[in-house]
Structures are given as structure tokens and as C-alpha cells.
């Protein structure tokens, strides 16, 4: 129903004082796409969103929307919608007036405004809340009003800045589903900001992992999850076990083999890694399995130092002879102090280029 | 920062001592209640009583003093004189302070320096400020010397008249009003302004539809306070005004009765009239503020609810 955009592309740099917060941050977003900016606190996600909305001026760069350059337009002329982290509902206006705000500014006739606001309230499942003030709503309800207020003007692009971060875990899941539903039903183009990887994976068509104002990796949720291209992304996406190694060989199909001290590890190479190159093998705790096999390639032995019961599973901390600890998540309890064999399945191990001074091994 | 710390500390504080303090609440109020009683309520009642006993205290209570005040044009006129200073000055002060505070709401270049300069008059006190005004705006002051050098035939009269008092009142009350409004305005979440802009509001729409309704309650309070201070103007009216004529305010009338005619009773009556004037001003402003709230414009302020 909203006016569809073909594509938005931008290349932006932002400096605050001497500090570069966004460094040549470039991306192309296609119509109807759901793109997420994912990164740790302070990496410049909100800054990027504010630049796109026109709320702060870029230090350098351009924004193009369907062949028109828009970075000179003030925010009120960009036709975007935005949902803020703290919702930013107008406290002196009722729910109805909050949602009607954008329509009034566009000079809609009263009767049409009323109909359209009702429609939006139904859409976000808050019928009958017209006359409440924001102070009389729960966090989740405020959040829905904020979404309705942004959507009612039929924005060409919807920007969402950590809209779920103030909600409790249960409501967060519910609202996540709701945002997904709205995106699909209305054919919206969305840019969503979060530091929660689960949120990013479940909502997005494409995830852009950011670090200190730069794109570390952009790709589908599966790509980001299974094939991180560098240590930073691997660490951010939940890879907890890292082994420094020297590449000894590999296959044309992308498998790379390396030696980490006494261990031989095989895995998928994130990049072409010639023999002799310094690499890092990374694997998630969930992918480490307890095994009875004797030590060999991708099989290690160690002593269980710590177990933690999680309700369904157990987290293990296993200390190897080399002194390195390995984290594993297993279904069966294992006694502390016992010796276990651990298998790191080669298809689950990623081998990354070791970067000096970059991510480092966390 | 402070509020965050306070919020974090609050649950801890609530754990136990709260219960014991609940009973002690009224008892804790006693010292301050006593203070108010002794320092304010008693003198006030005594003043009212004094004003109702004219003629060195013989005879019963009478409103003769009040009649005398209102029937004597020379005295009654002071109300008009005071209002003609207080009202325009309050409007001017609040409007300018509001404008400057609004422009500075997101911080500006050299903000600290500018704020310090603005606060200086508060620290210096009325008399020093009046001296300064005489030195700068007086017939032989810097301003006139400059204007004369620039070719003006005669010095312009800016002191010892209405203008002088207006300048003095403005210099004294602007910083106070400005700081109060700046605190109020900068306390409004900038995201509200951003949200309005993205929804299509131009800067003027943002002011009119979002920020003004949130600022209005604070502006009303600032207006009331400045008005009360202006209505009681005394030192400036004497030092840079024309206390025998154009700026003979009601406070001067009271002072003359007390310390030139030694008629404490009449002086008290005038003081009571002055207080009543301030109260009326305050009530009008608060009623207007209430009406703003009733029409939904200012139901929720930024700082106060
Ligand atoms: N107005 C400003 N002046 C100076 N520095 C700023 C300003 N706004 C943001 N920054 C800095 O820019 C960096 C990025 O800020 P930004 O708000 O974009 O982070 P973010 O990725 O949204 O973080 P979070 O997840 O905590 O919201 C931070 O280091 C921040 O301190
Ligand atoms: Mg942010």
C-alpha cells in the first residue's frame, strides 16, 4: 500500500569533533527488503539511522533514493517513518492525536484522519485506546502506538532504532513476530537497528554487521551465522572457541587444514588461505560434541572444569593439556573432573584469517 | 546522572527504614513548620493587624488606611505606575528569555561562557547592577559618550526615568528567567523533536505543536515569578528611576510611610495592598495555565506532571 521504493543507496561518513563515527559506510537497500544494522553499543548504528532520516548532517557522502539525491532534504521532506528506541510519543497528545499527527501535517480532512487512525489501531491490535495518553500505556502498547504513528503516513522507508530493547523478554518475542508480520503484509522497506543477534537473524533479509562505523560483513542471516568472514563477526555471532593455527593444506572445495600445536583441525575456510598462512579456527559451543573417539584430527581430550545447568542442556568448560579452555554445550551431564573427548565437526568449524591488531582472539 | 543515581539508590532505600520513617513524617515537618510560622505567618498577620489600627493604635479596628490609600490619587496612582513597569517588563523578559533558551536548547558554542555572563547580574546584586547601569547608560555614561562621539547632538536620557527602571529590572530578572526556562526546555527529550520532524513537521510546526505545549506550564511559572519580583520593585526604582514621579512604585510609597512619615500602620496597609496585587497577578497566571491544561494543551509538562 505504501509507495514502493526501487532502491536506496548511500555512502556516508560522520565525524563528531575529531572522532570518526561512520567511516565510508556504504550500502544498497532494495525495495521491500528488511535490512538490519547489527553491532555492539557505540558502533554508529543510531548515527547511521539519524543520517538517513536527515536528523543530523553527514560530514561527507551522499544518499540516493531511486535516482534522486536526497541528503540535502530536511527530514520532513524525505517521507520516511521512524520508530525510536524510547518511542518518543508526544506526552501531551492522546494516542489518537499521536497517530493523527503526521496526517494533520499533510492536511488530510478530519473524517479521513479518523478512519485511517482507527484502521492503524486495528492493525497494531490496540482498538479502543484512542483517548489514552502515552503515560497511561504499558511499554508494549507505547511501542505499538509508535509503530502505528510511523506507519500511518505510508512511509517509503521505515527506520527502526532498537524498538524492542525496552521490553521484557516475552513481549520482545511477541513484538518481533508482529514487526515481521507488518513487514510482510504491508510490503514495507525497513532498516532495523539492533545489538541483539537473535533479533537480527530472525527478522532480516540481510544483516549488516558493523564495528566502529565500518561494515564488517553483510549477508543473509544464514551467511552471517554460518560463514562469518572475520574474527569480529564470528565472536559477535556466538563463536566462543578459537584456536590459532598455521595452515598446512586445503581442498579446492574450501576445506582448510591447519595445525594448532599438537592438534590438527580441519574446517571451512572463510577466505583462500595458502599453506603457511596464520589462521584461526572458530567453533560454537553448540557445535562441540562429546565423543568416545581417540584423539585425532578435530578430536581433542580434556578435563571438565565446570558445568552449568541451563534447563535443557549443560554448558561445559573443558581444559585441554595445552591449558586452553574449550566451551561445549551438551545434552547429557558430565562429572566435573572427568576426562572427556570432544569432537569439533569439520563442517562446523570456520577457519578465518588471523588479523593482527584487528579482532584478536577474544 | 544524578537522577539515575537516585533511581538506582531508591529501591535500596526502600527496603526497611521506610516504615519507621512513615510515622516520623509529620514530626519531621515540625521544624520547618515552626520556621514558616515564626518568620512568615506571624509577621504577616501582625502586619495585617497593624494596617487595621490607624492613628498610632488608639480605637478599634478600621479600614481607614485602605480608604485613605485608594482615595488619595497620589497614592493610588502607584498601583498604576507599578503595573506599567511590571507588566511590560515581565512580558519582555519572559519572551526574550524564552527565545534565547529555545535557540540554545541543544547547546551552542561557548555555552558555558555565555551562561556565566548571564548569571553575573544575579551574583552582583541589585545595587551594584544599578550602579553599573548609571555608569553605562547615564548622561555621562559610556553609551552616551559613544553616541556623542558618533555625532549625536545631545545625550539621550536612559536613567532616572521609566526607561532606567525597565533596563534595571530586565538586567536583574532576565538571567533568572532564562536559566529557569533553559532548564525546563533542555529537559524535553530531543527525540520528540526528531519524531515530529520525521513525521513531516517543519521547525515552526515543531514549536507550535510539540514543544510549546510542553514548555507552556514552565513559561507560566516563570512569568508569575518575574511578575511578582517586578511588582515589588524598590531599589532600582530609587537608584535608576525617578522615585518622586514617574517610577514612584507602590514599594516606594510604603517605604515613605514607614521611614519618612513614621506611620507604620499606613505602611503596613500599603504593603498588604502590594501583596494582594502580587497575589492577583499570580492567580491570573495560574488560572490561565489551568485553562491551557483544560484544553489539553499542557496536560503533561516535561519536568512536572
Ligand atoms: N552528538 C554527538 N557528539 C559526539 N559524539 C557522538 C554524538 N552522537 C554519538 N556520538 C558518538 O558516536 C558513537 C556512535 O554512537 P551511536 O549512538 O550511533 O551508537 P549506537 O551504535 O547506536 O550505540 P547503541 O547501541 O548504544 O545505541 C558513540 O561513540 C557516541 O559516543
Ligand atoms: Mg543507538
Q: Does ligand 1 lie within 6 Å of residue A194's CB atom? A: no
Atom of ligand 1 nearest to the CA of A85: 27
Question: Which of B200, B202, B213 has its CB closest to that of A92?
Answer: B213
Q: What is the pLDDT along chain A (362 residues), one digit of tens a residue?
A: 457 889 999 999 999 988 999 999 999 999 999 999 999 999 999 999 999 999 999 999 999 999 999 999 999 999 999 999 889 999 999 999 999 999 999 999 999 999 999 999 998 889 999 999 999 999 889 999 999 999 999 899 999 999 988 888 888 888 899 899 989 988 899 999 999 999 999 999 999 999 999 999 999 999 999 999 999 999 999 999 999 999 998 888 889 999 988 889 999 998 888 888 899 999 999 999 999 888 889 999 999 999 999 999 999 999 998 889 999 999 988 999 999 999 999 999 999 988 754 444 54
The residue whose C-alpha atom lies closest to atom 2 belonging to ligand 1 is A16
Question: Which of A88, A92, A106 has its CB closest to that of B194?
Answer: A88
CA B34 to centroid of ligand 2, rounded, Å: 51
Closest by CA to A143, choosing from A162, A127, A117, A130, is A162
Strand segments, DSSP code E, in chain A are 7-16, 19-30, 34-38, 60-65, 68-69, 80-83, 157-161, 190-194, 206-211, 214-219, 241-250, 255-260, 263-269, 278-283, 289-291, 299-309, 314-320, 325-330, 339-343, 350-353
How much is the pLDDT for B294? Answer: 56
Mean pLDDT of chain B: 83
How much is the pLDDT for B222? Answer: 93
Q: CA–CA separation, B260 vs B237, rounded Å?
A: 17
The reply to whether residue B189 touches residue A92, judged by beta carbons under 8 angstroms, is no
B78-123 pLDDT, tens per residue? 999 999 999 999 999 999 999 999 988 887 777 788 888 877 877 8
Angle, helix B212-231 to helix B73-103, in steps of 10 degrees: 150
How much is the pLDDT for A78? Answer: 93
Alpha-carbon dihedral sign for residues A119, A121, A127, A128:
negative
Claim to verify: residue A168 and residue A292 sit in the same structural domain: no
Claim to verify: residue A123 and residue A30 sit in the same structural domain: yes
Rounded-to-10 torsion of CA A37, A42, A47, A49: 20
- CA B19 from centroid of its chain's CA atoms: 40
Claim to verify: residue A208 and residue A272 sit in the same structural domain: no
How much is the pLDDT for B6? Answer: 41
Residues of A whose CB is below 8 A from B305: 135
Residues 206 through 235 of chain B touching chain A, CB cutoff 8 Å: 209-210, 213-214
Q: In chain A, whose CA is at the least distance from the CA of B202?
A: A76
- CA A262 from centroid of its chain's CA atoms: 36
Q: In chain B, whose CA is at the least distance from the CA of A135?
A: B300
Claim to verify: residue A57 and residue A75 sit in the same structural domain: yes
Q: Does ligand 1 lie within 6 Å of residue A211's CB atom? A: no
Choose the final residue of a domain: A192, A210, A226.
Answer: A226
CATH number for the domain harbouring residue A96:
3.40.50.300
* Residues constituting chain A: 362
Q: What's the grid cell of residue A153?
A: 503516513
Residue B12 has pLDDT above 50, yes or no: no
Q: Does ligand 1 lie within 6 Å of residue A195's CB atom? A: yes
Claim to verify: residue A334 and residue A312 sit in the same structural domain: yes
How much is the pLDDT for B20? Answer: 55
Q: What's the grid cell of residue A261?
A: 600445536
Atom of ligand 1 nearest to the CA of A14: 12
Claim to verify: residue A219 and residue A243 sit in the same structural domain: no
How many domains does the structure of chain A reveal? 2
Q: Which residue has the cell 514617574?
A: B246
Choose the final residue of a domain: A182, A208, A226.
Answer: A226
DSSP H helix total and E strand total for chain A: 8, 20
CA A78 to centroid of ligand 1, rounded, Å: 23
The reply to whether residue B189 touches residue A86, judged by beta carbons under 8 angstroms, is yes
Q: In chain A, whose CA is at the least distance from the CA of B298?
A: A92
Q: CA–CA separation, A318 vs A341, rounded Å?
A: 10
Claim to verify: residue A222 and residue A235 sit in the same structural domain: no
Residue A359 lies in a domain: no
3-state per-residue secondary structure call for chain B: CHHHHHHHHHHHHHCCHHHHHHHHHHHHHHHHHHHHHHHHHHHHHHHHHHHCCCCCCCCCCCCHHHHHHHHCHHHHHHHHHHHHHHHHHHHHHHHHHHHHHHHCCCCCCCHHHHHHHHHHHHHHCHHHHHHHHHHHHCCCCHHHHHHHHCCCCCCCCCCCCHHHHHHHHHHHHHHHHHHHHHHHHHCCCHHHHHHHHHCCCCHHHHHHHHHHHHHHHHHHHHHHHHHHHHHCCCHHHHHCCCCCCCCCCHHHHHHHHHHCCCCHHHHHHHHHHHHHHHHHHHHHHHHHHHHHHHCCCCCCCCCCC
Q: What's the grid cell of residue A149?
A: 504513528
* Smallest-distance ligand from the CA of B107: 1
B125-166 pLDDT, tens per residue? 888 888 888 888 888 888 988 988 888 888 888 888 888 899
pTM: 0.82
- According to CATH, the superfamily of the domain at B65-294 is MetI-like (1.10.3720.10)
Closest by CA to A275, choosing from A245, A247, A244, is A247
How much is the pLDDT for A63? Answer: 96
Mutation target among A49, A52, A53, A76 for the B interface, most CBs of B within 10 A: A76
Smallest CA–CA distance, residue B185 to chain A, in Å, is: 14
Closest by CA to A59, choosing from A9, A8, A12, is A12
Residue A358 lies in a domain: no
Q: What's the grid cell of residue A238?
A: 556466538
Choose the final residue of a domain: A209, A226, A243.
Answer: A226
Q: CA–CA separation, A362 vs B5, rounded Å?
A: 32
Smallest CA–CA distance, residue A74 to chain B, in Å, is: 8
B21 band by pLDDT with thresholds 50, 70 and 90: low
Closest by CA to A155, choosing from A89, A82, A64, A106, is A82
Residues of B whose CB is below 8 A from A133: 299-300
Claim to verify: residue A216 and residue A260 sit in the same structural domain: no
Coil, strand, or helix at residue A197? helix
CATH number for the domain harbouring residue A246:
2.40.50.140
Residues of A whose CB is below 8 A from B191: 84-86, 88
Residue A335 lies in a domain: yes
B181-186: average pLDDT: 90
Question: Which of A78, A86, A135 has its CB closest to that of B191?
Answer: A86
Question: Which of B195, B302, B305 has its CB closest to that of A88?
Answer: B195
B141 contact partners, CB below 8 Å, separation of at least 6: B134, B135, B158, B159
Put simply, whether B304 touches A (Cβ < 8 Å) is: no
Q: What is the residue range of A208's domain?
A: 7-226
Residue A1 lies in a domain: no
How much is the pLDDT for B8? Answer: 41
Coil, strand, or helix at residue A232? helix
Claim to verify: residue A181 and residue A155 sit in the same structural domain: yes
Q: In chain B, whose CA is at the least distance from the CA of A88?
A: B192
Residues of B whose CB is below 8 A from A75: 194, 197-198
Claim to verify: residue A209 and residue A235 sit in the same structural domain: no
CA A47 to centroid of ligand 2, rounded, Å: 7
Residue A361 lies in a domain: no
Put simply, whether A105 touches B (Cβ < 8 Å) is: yes
Rounded-to-10 torsion of CA B196, B201, B204, B208: -60
Q: What angle do CA A16, A89, A159 make, to 5 degrees?
A: 55
Share of chain B above pLDDT 90, in %: 32
How much is the pLDDT for B130? Answer: 86
Amino acid at each position: 500500500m505504501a509507495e514502493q521504493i526501487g532502491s536506496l543507496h548511500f555512502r556516508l561518513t560522520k565525524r563528531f569533533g575529531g572522532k570518526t563515527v561512520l567511516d565510508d559506510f556504504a550500502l544498497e537497500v532494495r525495495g521491500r527488503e528488511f535490512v538490519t544494522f547489527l553491532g555492539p553499543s557505540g558502533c554508529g548504528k543510531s548515527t547511521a539511522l539519524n543520517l538517513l532520516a536527515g536528523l543530523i548532517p553527514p560530514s561527507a557522502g551522499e544518499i540516493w533514493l531511486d535516482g534522486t539525491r536526497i541528503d540535502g532534504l530536511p527530514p520532513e521532506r524525505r517521507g520516511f517513518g521512524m520508530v525510536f528506541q524510547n518511542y518518543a510519543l508526544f506526552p501531551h497528545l492522546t494516542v489518537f492525536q499521536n497517530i493523527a499527527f503526521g496526517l494533520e501535517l499533510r492536511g488530510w480532512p478530519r473524517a479521513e484522519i479518523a478512519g485511517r487512525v482507527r484502521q492503524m489501531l486495528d492493525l497494531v491490535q490496540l482498538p479502543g485506546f484512542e483517548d489514552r495518553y502515552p503515560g497511561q500505556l504499558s511499554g508494549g502498547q507505547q511501542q505499538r502506538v509508535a509503530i502505528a504513528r510511523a506507519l500511518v503516513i505510508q512511509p517509503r522507508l521505515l527506520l527502526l532504532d532498537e524498538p524492542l530493547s525496552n521490553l521484557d523478554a516475552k513481549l520482545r518475542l511477541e513484538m518481533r513476530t508482529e514487526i515481521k508480520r507488518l513487514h510482510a503484509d504491508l510490503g514495507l522497506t525497513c532498516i532495523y537497528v539492533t545489538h541483539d543477534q537473535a533479533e537480527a537473524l530472525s527478522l532480516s533479509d540481510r544483516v549488516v554487521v558493523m564495528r566502529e562505523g565500518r561494515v564488517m560483513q553483510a549477508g543473509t542471516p544464514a551467511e552471517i551465522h554460518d560463514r562469518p568472514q572475520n574474527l569480529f563477526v564470528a565472536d559477535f555471532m556466538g563463536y566462543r572457541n578459537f584456536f590459532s593455527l598455521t595452515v598446512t593444506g586445503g581442498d579446492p572445495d574450501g576445506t582448510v587444514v591447519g595445525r594448532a600445536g599438537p592438534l590438527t583441525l580441519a574446517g571451512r575456510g572463510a577466505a583462500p588461505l595458502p599453506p603457511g598462512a596464520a589462521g584461526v579456527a572458530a567453533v560454537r559451543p553448540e557445535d562441540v560434541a562429546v565423543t568416545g573417539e581417540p584423539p585425532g584430527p578435530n578430536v581433542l581430550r580434556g578435563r571438565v572444569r565446570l558445568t552449568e545447568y541451563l534447563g535443557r542442556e549443560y554448558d561445559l568448560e573443558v581444559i585441554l593439556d595445552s591449558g586452553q579452555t574449550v566451551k561445549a554445550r551438551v545434552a547429557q551431564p558430565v562429572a566435573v573432573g572427568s576426562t572427556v573427548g570432544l569432537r569439533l565437526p569439520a563442517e562446523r568449524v570456520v577457519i578465518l584469517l588471523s588479523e593482527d591488531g584487528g579482532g584478536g582472539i577474544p | 546522572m544524578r537522577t539515575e543515581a537516585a533511581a538506582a539508590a531508591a529501591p535500596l532505600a526502600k527496603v526497611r527504614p521506610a516504615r519507621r520513617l512513615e510515622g516520623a513524617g509529620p514530626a519531621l515537618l515540625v521544624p520547618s513548620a515552626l520556621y514558616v510560622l515564626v518568620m512568615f505567618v506571624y509577621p504577616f498577620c501582625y502586619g495585617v493587624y497593624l494596617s487595621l489600627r490607624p492613628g498610632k493604635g488608639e480605637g478599634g479596628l478600621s479600614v481607614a488606611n485602605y480608604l485613605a490609600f485608594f482615595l488619595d490619587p497620589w497614592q493610588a496612582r502607584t498601583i498604576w505606575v507599578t503595573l506599567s513597569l511590571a507588566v511590560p517588563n515581565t512580558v519582555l523578559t519572559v519572551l526574550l528569555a524564552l527565545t534565547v533558551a529555545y535557540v540554545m536548547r541543544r547547546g551552542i558554542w561557548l555555552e558555558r561562557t555565555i551562561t556565566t555572563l548571564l548569571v553575573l547580574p544575579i551574583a552582583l546584586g541589585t545595587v551594584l547592577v544599578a550602579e553599573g547601569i548609571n555608569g553605562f547608560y547615564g548622561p555621562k555614561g559610556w553609551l552616551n559618550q559613544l553616541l556623542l562621539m558618533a555625532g549625536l547632538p545631545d545625550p539621550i536620557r536612559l536613567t532616572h526615568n521609566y526607561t532606567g527602571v525597565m533596563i534595571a529590572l530586565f538586567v536583574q530578572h532576565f538571567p533568572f528567567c532564562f536559566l529557569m526556562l533553559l532548564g525546563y526546555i533542555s529537559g524535553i527529550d530531543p527525540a520528540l523533536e526528531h519524531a515530529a520532524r520525521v513525521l513531516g513537521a517543519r521547525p515552526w510546526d515543531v514549536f507550535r505543536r510539540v514543544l510549546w505545549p510542553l514548555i507552556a506550564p514552565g513559561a507560566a511559572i516563570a512569568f508569575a515569578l518575574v511578575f511578582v519580583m517586578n511588582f515589588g520593585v524598590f531599589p532600582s526604582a530609587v537608584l535608576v528611576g525617578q522615585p518622586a514621579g514617574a517610577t514612584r512604585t507602590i514599594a516606594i510609597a510604603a517605604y515613605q510611610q514607614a521611614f519618612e512619615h513614621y506611620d507604620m500602620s499606613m505602611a503596613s496597609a500599603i504593603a498588604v495592598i502590594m501583596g494582594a496585587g502580587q497575589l492577583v497577578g499570580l492567580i491570573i497566571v495560574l488560572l490561565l495555565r489551568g485553562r491551557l491544561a483544560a484544553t489539553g494543551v499542557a496536560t503533561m509538562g516535561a519536568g512536572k506532571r
